[in-house]
């Protein structure tokens, strides 16, 4: 009999799928996501939504998330590093700065304007004791603590008009960025792009919708086969239940910390 116990760890399920409006127009999915589990049970995730008006929004989104994760992962941070709020904020701000610079350099290499690679960006760093988020543009990051409290750590920045937001390539992007550090005993983290925010949030008060998140968090906690779990999440995002309410590209990352 195997009596060994699994060590505490993060379980993550993530997917990006093309919205039905983009499928009809034979367009690529403009969303991108990336995540990594660092030593000491530090989870780092990033999602981005390329601007629909940007000819290379998908490229900008991919460069943004990959650069942000790489910038954090090479620093060899530990949970002790993250006990100071100012250090956490500096970590996130630097990741955004490097992501912005990388997108602008990619635009030059492609002989495009930086606005042609415009995208939003959300970065989250989580341990069992804290979750910190930086966000430019719309979408949302949420977390649940051991008491079952579900909190929206950011609010969608949708601008003054519908479908308007701030993008990473905007001159005012860093000034408009949201930063939040939440210190609780964390069991779940969820990050999504704006295609899902109408389903996932009570937009009038900015509160996360528990019937949306709780089953997904339970799903992540019990996702033993990562390949199968991702396929199931993709099917969920493409289901009629979702596509009847949104035709936008969809990205969702759900994570569960299991003891």
Total structural domains within the chain: 1
Confidence (pTM):
0.94
| Cβ atoms 252, 40 nearer than 8 A | no
DSSP secondary structure code for residue 18 in this structure: -
Domain assignment present for 27: yes
Q: Which two tokens stand for residue 26?
A: 């034979």
- Rounded distance, CA 206 to CA 210, Å? 12
- Rounded distance, CA 89 to CA 82, Å? 9
Cα dihedral 89, 93, 95, 99 in deg (nearest 10) = 160
Q: Which helix (H) or strand (E) holds 181?
A: strand 178-183
Domain assignment present for 55: yes
Domain assignment present for 88: yes
Domain assignment present for 206: yes
Domain assignment present for 1: no
- Rounded distance, CA 21 to CA 92, Å? 33
pLDDT tens, position by position, for the chain (259 residues)? 343 456 889 999 999 999 998 888 888 899 999 999 999 999 999 999 999 889 999 999 999 999 999 999 999 899 999 999 999 999 999 999 999 999 999 999 999 999 999 999 999 999 999 999 999 999 999 999 999 999 999 988 655 444 568 999 999 999 999 999 999 999 999 999 999 999 999 887 889 999 999 999 999 999 989 999 999 999 999 999 999 999 999 999 999 998 7
Domain assignment present for 215: yes
Instruction: Residue 134: give the domain boundaries.
Output: 9-258
| CATH number of the domain bearing residue 38 | 3.60.40.10
Domain assignment present for 175: yes
Q: Which two tokens stand for residue 168?
A: 């990473």
Domain assignment present for 187: yes
């Amino acid at each position: 009999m195997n009596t060994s116990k699994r060590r505490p760890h993060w379980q993550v399920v993530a997917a990006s799928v093309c919205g039905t409006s983009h499928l009809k127009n034979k367009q690529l999915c403009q969303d991108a996501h990336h995540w990594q589990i660092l030593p000491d049970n530090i989870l780092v995730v990033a999602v981005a939504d390329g601007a629909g008006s940007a000819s290379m929004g998908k490229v900008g989104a991919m460069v943004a998330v990959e650069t942000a994760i790489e910038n954090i992962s090479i620093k060899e941070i530990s949970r002790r590093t993250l006990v100071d709020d100012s250090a956490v904020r500096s970590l996130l701000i630097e990741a955004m700065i490097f992501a912005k610079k990388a997108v602008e350099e990619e635009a030059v290499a492609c002989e495009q304007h930086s606005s042609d690679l415009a995208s939003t960006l959300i970065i989250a760093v989580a341990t069992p004791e804290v979750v910190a988020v930086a966000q430019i543009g719309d979408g949302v990051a949420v977390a649940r603590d051991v008491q079952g409290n579900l909190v929206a750590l950011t609010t969608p920045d949708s601008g003054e008009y519908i479908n308007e937001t701030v993008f990473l390539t905007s001159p005012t992007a860093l000034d408009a960025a949201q930063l939040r550090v939440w210190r609780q005993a964390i069991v779940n983290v969820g990050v999504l792009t704006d295609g899902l925010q109408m389903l996932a949030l009570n937009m009038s008060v900015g509160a996360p919708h528990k019937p949306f998140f709780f089953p997904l968090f339970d799903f992540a906690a019990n996702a033993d086969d990562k390949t199968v779990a991702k396929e199931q999440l993709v099917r969920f995002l493409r289901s009629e239940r979702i596509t009847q309410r949104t035709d936008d590209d969809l990205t969702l990352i759900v994570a569960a910390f299991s003891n």
